[in-house]
């Protein structure tokens, strides 16, 4: 089930359509996701909450897993769709925000401030359908967000020609210790997949080779504003896997008792 969910959600990878009208050759290679499973993020990042003021990113990690979203609060395209669906899907699981998990959203645009954060939080609460004490919509300085994005393997770019950001649509699921457990990619988040991701992250689980392979074999295509399967990359991994399996099989045949000897 986890493998099927990972494949389906990876197929939904999409980025801001901003790049489609920009300069693809300049943006290509600067936008995407490089999986950093198991990486621990810096929890001392200063953040600004429109409700409680200055704090640290680690304030959200109160012995519960965290769903971290790097978004653009002023995005005219997909960010609001992604954040609304995330909140609506979380409302459909039997886990409570604040008690069982927390959601943290940070803007990649340093121009977004308290007003944009409040508006985004209201939108997410409306989609959630009630109070959600564990839903935090924060801002941070540009250098801090860049450092966090680099740590997560999250690559985004600003296109000055159209004054918009091109970025992946990704939810990073973190363990209570701040380690990357897995990535949820795309705009739609099935409730059962979200619940599984939260529970596994809460147990300290880190995604295995399957999640890495699926995510790593997709790359951003500015021409379409989507992620596309990199056939050569996938074939390379499959070829390596085939050689390893073949080698193990030959080794077993030559070393197994009674094998490899003349009758």
Q: Tell me what pLDDT residue 132 has.
A: 87
- Which residues on neighbouring strands pair with residue 137, listed in sequence order? 105
Strands (DSSP E) found in the chain: 32-33, 46-49, 53-56, 66-71, 102-107, 135-138, 154-155, 157-159, 164-166, 170-174, 180-185, 218-221, 226-229
Q: What is the dihedral of CA 71, 76, 78, 82, to 10 degrees?
A: 60
Task: Spell out the per-residue pLDDT of the chain, length 263, in tens.
Answer: 444 444 434 434 433 433 334 445 566 668 888 989 999 999 999 999 998 889 999 999 989 999 999 999 998 878 899 999 999 999 999 999 999 999 999 999 999 999 999 999 999 999 999 888 999 999 999 999 999 999 999 999 998 888 889 888 899 999 999 999 999 988 888 999 999 999 999 999 986 544 544 444 444 444 444 444 444 444 454 555 566 676 676 777 776 565 545 55
Q: Tell me the domain boundaries of the chain.
A: 2-229, 232-263
| Assigned superfamily of 2-229 | Glutaredoxin (3.40.30.10)
Query: Rounded to two decimals, what is the model's pTM?
Result: 0.74
């Amino acid at each position: 089930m986890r493998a099927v969910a990972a494949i389906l959600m990876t197929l939904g990878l999409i980025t801001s359509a901003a790049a489609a009208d920009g300069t693809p050759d300049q943006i290509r290679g600067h936008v995407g996701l490089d999986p950093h499973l198991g990486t621990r993020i810096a929890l001392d990042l200063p953040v600004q909450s429109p409700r409680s003021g200055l704090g640290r990113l680690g304030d959200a990690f109160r012995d519960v897993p965290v769903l971290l979203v790097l978004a653009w609060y002023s995005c005219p395209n997909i960010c609001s769709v992604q954040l609304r669906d995330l909140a609506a899907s979380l409302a459909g699981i039997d886990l409570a925000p604040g008690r069982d998990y927390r959601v943290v959203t940070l803007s990649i645009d340093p121009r977004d401030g308290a007003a944009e954060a409040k508006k985004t939080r209201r939108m997410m609460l409306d989609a959630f359908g009630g109070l959600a004490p564990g839903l935090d919509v924060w801002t941070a300085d540009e250098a801090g967000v860049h450092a966090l994005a680099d740590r997560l393997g999250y690559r985004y770019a600003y296109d000055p020609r159209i004054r918009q950001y091109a970025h992946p649509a990704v939810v990073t699921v973190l363990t209570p210790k701040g380690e990357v457990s897995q990535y949820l990619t795309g705009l739609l988040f099935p409730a059962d997949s979200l619940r599984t991701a939260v529970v596994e992250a809460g147990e300290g689980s880190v995604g295995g080779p399957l999640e890495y392979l699926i995510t790593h074999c997709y790359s951003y295509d500015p021409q379409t504003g989507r992620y596309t399967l990199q056939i050569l990359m996938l074939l390379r991994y499959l070829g390596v896997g085939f050689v390893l399996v073949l080698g193990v099989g030959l080794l077993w045949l030559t070393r197994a008792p009674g094998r490899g000897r003349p009758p």
